[in-house]
């Protein structure tokens, strides 16, 4: 679904416009959000605005798909930049996360990233995994591995990630 996001006249996030559009959308719409560092505006909702957005999403039964490509770049703090995702995941299981490591790991062109679904049950998780495999298999039989190995090595090393915790 489409929704208003940026008020060019005020050069600011248009929370009222977004909330109105989310309320007027069909129930159970799929809504794509940026976790932080909204592209292309750079304007992110405040914590209070994220809560208002979540309240509407829950009341309408919308499915939230989060795009995370700039975590750590908005505020310089990985935890702070993950606020919206953590807020939503604490109150709903209707979430998908598309996470790219190209920018925050300097892996441009490596296609390193992941897709994650938060589900209510193991059965629902299995269905999501089955569908993802149906989409991925026809695209490639052997996905790029170099970038993924770099990300795995860094995130799996407590010494390398100590400053992130």
* Domains assigned to the chain: 6-160 (3.40.640.10)
Torsion of CA 120, 124, 126, 132, to 10 degrees: -110
154-157: which pairs have CB atoms within 8 A and are 24 or more residues apart?
A: 154/105
pLDDT, position 147: 82
pLDDT, position 163: 65
pLDDT digits (tens, 9 = 90+) for 76-112: 888 999 999 999 999 999 899 999 888 878 887 777 8
List the chain pLDDT tens, one digit each, 165 residues: 789 999 999 999 999 999 999 999 999 999 999 999 998 998 999 999 999 999 999 999 999 999 999 888 888 888 999 999 999 999 999 899 999 888 878 887 777 888 999 988 999 999 999 999 888 877 776 777 778 888 888 888 888 877 655
């Amino acid at each position: 679904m489409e929704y208003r996001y940026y008020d060019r006249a005020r050069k600011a996030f248009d929370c009222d416009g977004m909330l109105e559009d989310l309320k007027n959308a069909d129930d159970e719409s799929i809504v794509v959000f940026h976790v932080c560092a909204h592209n292309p505006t750079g304007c992110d909702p405040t914590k209070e605005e994220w809560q208002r957005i979540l309240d509407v999403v829950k009341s309408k039964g919308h499915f939230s798909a989060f795009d995370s490509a700039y975590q750590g770049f908005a505020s310089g703090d990985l935890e702070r930049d993950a606020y919206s995702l953590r807020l939503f995941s604490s109150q709903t299981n209707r979430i998908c996360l598309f996470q790219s490591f190209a920018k925050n790991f300097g892996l441009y062109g490596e296609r390193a990233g992941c897709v994650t679904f938060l589900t209510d049950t193991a059965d629902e998780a299995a269905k999501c995994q089955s569908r993802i495999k149906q989409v991925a298999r026809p695209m490639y039989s052997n996905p790029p591995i170099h970038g993924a190995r770099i990300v795995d090595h860094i995130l799996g090393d407590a010494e390398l990630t100590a400053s992130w915790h």
